[in-house]
Chains A and B, each alone.
Chain A
Amino acid sequence: MSLRLVVATLLFAPCSVLQAQDLAARVAAAQGRLAAIEQRAERVADVNEIENLQRSYGYYVDKMLWEHVVDLFSDDATMEIGLSGVYVGKDNIRRYLYSLSNGGEGPLEGVLYDHFQLQPIVTVADDGETAKGRWRALLMTGTYGSGSGGNWGEGPYENEYVQEEGVWKISKLHWYATYYVPYEGGWLNSSADAVRAYSEGRGVTADQPPSEQYSPYPAAFVPPFHYPNPVSGQ
């Protein structure tokens, strides 16, 4: 083989290297697109987990399973129910919750405490570290044989969530009372006093005053939305 031929043959080698580089670039591009798909799938999974989390909150509250409820919060979480004021941190949230049941945990004989968790709008931050959710609670409560038929309650939440070591937790729980009314007559009559009686801690004091001053129905008040109009962006 002449030297010239050897040189000519070997000069083609870089061509195949170039081709390989092109393939490697395509593989890298596909990896990048796949990573973006994985991230989008992860955001959808986040929404599912947050929905499971908030709905579990409702099932635990139904039965006054306070330790389960407290478990759902991050360490520095806040909780504010109706006109309760703001409780800061797990210990104070626990203090508030136990006050609602005279210090006990678990369902009480003769007490209905159903807290439906409905109609979620969950918005996960792009980085997947935090999220916000607007929800609706429908309450059916009552003490059996108390003479009344019980109570209705209704209102939206604007809540916040944080993901810590892959687990979503509630970092802020804020329920705005629309109304809390006797079963008899329902929302024909509504007063702030009834909301206060339902939502204030019994014999415990909140760490901070209510974060917003408002009166429940029949007063006109729009709990602020955490998101702009999803269609117009307004």
Chain B
Amino acid sequence: MSRFALLAFVVGLGALSGCSKQSTDTELAASIAALEQAVAEAEREVERLKDFDAIENLSSVYGHYVDESMQDDIADLFAADGIVEILGRGVFYGQDRVRQYMHNLGPVGQQDGRLFNHMHLQPVIHVAEDGQTASARSRLFVMFGIVNANAQWGSGIYENEFVKQDGVWKLRYLHGYQTFYTNYEDGWAKRSSAIFAPYERLPPDGPQSVPYDPYPAAFVPPFHYPNPVTGRMDHYGRPQPPPE
């Protein structure tokens, strides 16, 4: 090979490898950027899956605490501006009023001779895209009793809202709709209580957000979500209590 030919070859090789190194670096940087983006998306998706479980746990925890009349623990599940609205008892604004509401239900802790089971079942959970709020429809099934005196069934629907504050999910608005309350002897087709009125000893801050009569009247508690398959909006609604 002549000296000139060799020089040309070397220059060519140099140009080639230089070019290819440069383009390899660019490609690498691009694929690392794509990888980082995909990692961020996966992190968000996993976070929302954890949020879903956290909402399910929080709903279940609420039910277990009510069973045991753990009034302060129940109130602690609420955000500072949390709202409670149960049956026809009216609306209570803020965690302090939630605490009063819970204490009004009876003395703290399980009592001899008193059954207060509040099964919290069947959650349909939706976490907002930004992962900061969530909603859940769930079912209440109550077995209430005073031994040798009173035994009752209760059934209802919750449409609850949640907020994530400093990484912790809290109840923002607990809204329980009354389906029926009846006593054990009669069952639900012989007897069904009218909507439970506000407590005289603890008047609410505001009236209930949705006026309705429970079973045997026909009433559909609004769904916080459209039909999950078609998006049909019948019976969709997110009623909010009036501003405080």
Contact = CB atoms under 8 A, between A and B. Distances in A.
A49 B52 CA distance: 11
A21 B24 contact: yes
Q: Quick one: which of B31, B41, B124 has the most chain A CB within 10 A? A: B124
A30 B35 contact: yes
Contacts of B157: 59
Given A53-B228, A71-B232, A149 B124 contact: no
B232 A68 contact: yes
A38 interface: yes
Interface in B1-24: 3, 6-7, 10, 13-14, 17-18, 20-21, 24
Contacts of B179: 112, 114
A153 to B, nearest CB: 13
Contacts of B147: none
Interface in A117-160: 117-118, 140, 142-150
A13 B228 CA distance: 58
Interface in B203-244: 215-220, 223, 227-230, 232, 234-235
B121 A118 contact: yes
B10 A150 contact: no
B220 A140 contact: no
B189 A149 contact: yes
A20 to B, nearest CB: 4
Please tell me the size bucket of the interface on A: 35 or more
B125 interface: yes
Contact of A14 (B17, B215, B220): B17
Contact of B234 (A44, A65, A148): A65
Given A71-B232, A167-B228, 19 more contacts: A31-B38, A37-B42, A48-B125, A55-B124, A56-B124, A59-B223, A63-B220, A67-B234, A71-B230, A109-B216, A112-B189, A116-B139, A116-B141, A144-B189, A145-B189, A146-B189, A149-B189, A150-B188, A183-B189
Closest 4 CB pairs of A and B: A149-B187, A142-B189, A13-B17, A150-B189
13 contacts: A3-B3, A10-B14, A13-B18, A31-B38, A34-B42, A41-B42, A59-B157, A109-B218, A114-B179, A116-B122, A118-B121, A149-B190, A150-B188
Interface of B: 3, 6-7, 10, 13-14, 17-18, 20-21, 24-25, 27-28, 31-32, 34-35, 38-39, 41-42, 45-46, 49, 52, 121-126, 137, 139, 141, 155, 157, 179-180, 186-190, 192, 215-220, 223, 227-230, 232, 234-235
